[in-house]
A and B are shown apart, each in its own frame.
Chain A
């Protein structure tokens, strides 16, 4: 999302200025990490810096496309990046990544088998899972109970029968792939369906439900749920976790719940990869192995409620998070989750045309 671009620009300028001032003085070893906003706890950063006796320099993105666009525009020098599966695939096909040296990653054995060897990188040649999130439905529990609405199905955001009671109190993600995926799932199709007829069905389903929605929203649904302006939001599990925490700490009289629709949903696995232009592959491997350590991996989950693919982390994760079925789904639910894959350019154009229609009609 471009919401914070000026702020980010200012921050980068400031960082550049500081770097300029500080650089002659420091001959320090630096590892460059290009990461999602708020995707590693500060304590973990400090621990790693003490461990490697180097500095961990972070740059942030809030969208895979933003990261790919920046790399496509020629950004260089990032050692480690944490893209989502489909973006890993894009980077691999662009030959932008360096293969991993598994010898230097002894902790890779900690990753659960179901999260290894994923379709976007068979054999994990280039990537190791870092954390995951699930695109699901977050809701105001009390309102749902009062209105007698189901919370375990995409019908909640697509069926006029239920939407009647939610008019103007519901937001969906401002992302063509995510919203189409939800519609496709509800219709019983795979999330990467590329047949025009089926995509059109999904578009029609969205257009039928749109009059009831309040907005297409990419990030402020967290706040809107917490404040109580919105009762249902289509969004990411990490965000719903935050909304839940915020509502609790603000002492709201309602609670935010979230669950994975029974039809299945999108699973987004973020993986650590080495960029080809990185100057310190040695430190990069050290960082990846450090983050594969159960304790370090668990810290992130405890902070932001991200899904954790690390088996060794389980013992350190707060039990109320580990027990949450929407973050750690059971095997049957996991089997119904799918990862997004990149469309080819023709399909991209087709879906973009439908998206424009969805936005305008």
Chain B
């Protein structure tokens, strides 16, 4: 019995050793900053940037907590407009990435095993050069075509940069499919389209969902690509947040925007998770 207990303690210890570091990391670098952001979003901006003090240091000074920042957000169509535009750009980027990645991921997954690693390596290869260098390269390509500084350029840059994040999860999923299933479908008289649509595609949904999340969420917060490739109308939420912190030094307002963005992303992730559960139940 003592032996069992010891084994129990040691397994619990192992569990903590495995789960502990990531937990600590997430608490320190995600949860805590997020909480700081929530607090910052209900305070007044400081005179030189940063935050106004919690308690007034001189009479008439704005201090303490306020919902004013959220009030500004909801009393003006303009912010919702930028959010809608950003979600639109993110959705379009995700769709284009998906449309381009699926055939490629399928091709890699179905190619001979000895070629696969090389093909995957080729997908990852662009990461060897800096992200900004690659975006600048697009400036050189699009400039002479008169396509630079446009919504088109922004989408091109977004799709280009995020493509591998869609290909890899799709490939990992597709690679695991048992070819026997397709043979069985064929034996039962399914043609090529039916084999894809009724066997491969449903099985790949988890890959599609994780790939979409990996593309959609970073695109929402991206400010560098619109700034470098975008024209005069291509301001997205990320740019607005950056401008609040750096351009105006209005931390509370920037924090409020970040919180609203996080809320939006969480809402979408929630819907996606719910959809995924329904899909798996049906399958």
Query: Which residues of A approach B to under 8 Å, CB–CB?
Result: 1-4, 6-7, 63, 65-66, 68-69, 72, 90, 93-94, 168, 171, 174-176, 210, 213-218, 220, 223-224, 227, 229, 342, 344-345, 348-349, 351-353, 355-357, 359-360
Contact = CB atoms under 8 A, between A and B. Distances in A.
A348 B249 CA distance: 8
Contacts, number: 106
B247 A352 contact: yes
Given A214-B231, A229-B143, A360-B235, A349 B249 contact: no
B223 interface: yes
Nearest to B135: A3
A72 B49 contact: yes
Given A176-B247, A213-B232, A352-B247, 13 more contacts: A2-B227, A6-B131, A7-B130, A69-B49, A72-B49, A171-B149, A210-B232, A220-B228, A229-B148, A348-B248, A349-B253, A357-B78, A360-B85
B45 A6 contact: no
Contacts of A355: 243, 247
B50 A72 contact: yes
Interface string B241-283: 0111111111001000000000000000000000000000000
B183 interface: no
A360 B80 CA distance: 11
B47 A4 contact: no
A101 B130 CA distance: 45
26 contacts: A1-B227, A2-B224, A3-B224, A3-B227, A65-B246, A65-B249, A68-B49, A69-B49, A90-B48, A93-B47, A171-B149, A176-B248, A214-B149, A216-B232, A218-B227, A229-B144, A345-B46, A345-B47, A348-B249, A353-B72, A355-B247, A356-B78, A356-B79, A359-B240, A360-B81, A360-B85
Nearest to A349: B250
Nearest to A211: B232
A72 B240 CA distance: 21
Interface string B92-136: 000000000000000000000000000000000000001110000
Contacts of A171: 149
B224 A215 contact: no
A147 B73 CA distance: 45
A218 B148 CA distance: 15
Contacts of A215: 149, 230-232
A130 B50 CA distance: 28
A344 B47 contact: yes
A224 B231 CA distance: 14
A214 B146 CA distance: 10
Contacts of B44: 345
B230 A352 contact: no
Contacts of B148: 229
A348 B203 CA distance: 53
B190 interface: no
B227 A352 contact: no
B82 A6 contact: no
Contact of A356 (B50, B82, B132, B143): B82
Contacts of A224: 143
Contacts of B246: 2, 63, 65-66, 69
